[in-house]
Structure 1
């Protein structure tokens, strides 16, 4: 899957909706790398950055992958089903498991942007993100 297709798929999944916010602000997603993992047949890593504008949010989604987040700027509120929301600040990390439903992902600030890098270890050729049915 090429970088443009990956970015488009992620953007669709990360867009806020009018039902979640009066003024939805879509995420700015920049794919950086997708490469097969040496010695692990059928697996690949995808690396990308995500920027939430002030007040930015995403719809509930899942990754069907191991996901590791490192916050570069600002702070984001993250929550997976069964866990309390956490605010992850610059220099901190967050992890999602392949079975997690990412219920909440949003900029913690209404006035400053937030930016984070995402490392995704997934099955080759599978989408990075997919929406949650009935979300």
Structure 2
């Protein structure tokens, strides 16, 4: 009888990951869907939030964001180094944030610490039919 709730939880989790598109992962980083909602007064646009947790020393692979995606990133805990497009790399600490323009190339996104985890919240304003939020750069 305990199998049914476990199976249901697995199916719900799988559906959430499938519905929020794909993400560029690095070794050991964890991406969790947080929120997804169509924006009622902006037809064709959605608000999607994901939590990105970086274990000590981990980072995301270089990636490109969807051409329609405006992104707001907020560091929840720890320190995250980020480099967007041709700009300089910058270290953001808990409570700090930045934005990324549509179609941005993200060459660096990683936990600065080798001993403590870091977490950020990435909020996308994106075309509702854009399911590939991030694409690894080859």
Task: Give TM-score, length-normalised by structure 2.
Answer: 0.81
Residues in 2 aligned to 1:81 and 1:68: alpha-carbon distance in whole angstroms: 15
The answer for the alignment partner of 2:53 in structure 1 is 51
1:77/1:85 contact within 8 Å kept: yes
8 A Cα contact 1:70 1:94, kept in partner:
yes
Indicate the RMSD between aligned Cα atoms, in angstroms. Answer: 1.5
Per-residue deviation, 1:103 = 0.7
Does 1:69 find its partner at 2:73? Answer: yes
Number of residue pairs the alignment of both structures matches: 121
Q: Which runs of 4+ in 1 moved over 2 A?
A: none
* Structure 1 contact 69–119 (Cα < 8 Å) conserved: yes
Task: Say whether the 8 Å CA contact 1:77–1:106 is kept in structure 2.
Answer: yes
Pairs within 5 Å for 1:98-113: 98-113=102-117
Gap runs ≥5 in structure 1: 16-24
Q: Which consecutive unaligned segments of at least 5 residues does structure 2 have?
A: 1-14
Provide, for residues 63-106 of structure 1, a one-character-per-residue CA deviation record: whole Å limited to 9, x for no partner.
Answer: 12111111110000000121010001000002111132001000
Q: Which has the larger radius of gyration?
A: 2
Matches within 5 A, 1:21-60: 25-60=27-62
Determine if the alignment matches structure 1 residue 9 to structure 2 residue 22.
yes
Contact 1:45–1:119 (8 Å) recurs in 2: yes
Q: Is the 8 A contact 1:7 1:29 kept in 2?
A: no
Give the direction of change, closer, same or farther, for the CA distance of 1:45–1:28 in structure 2 (3 Å limit).
same
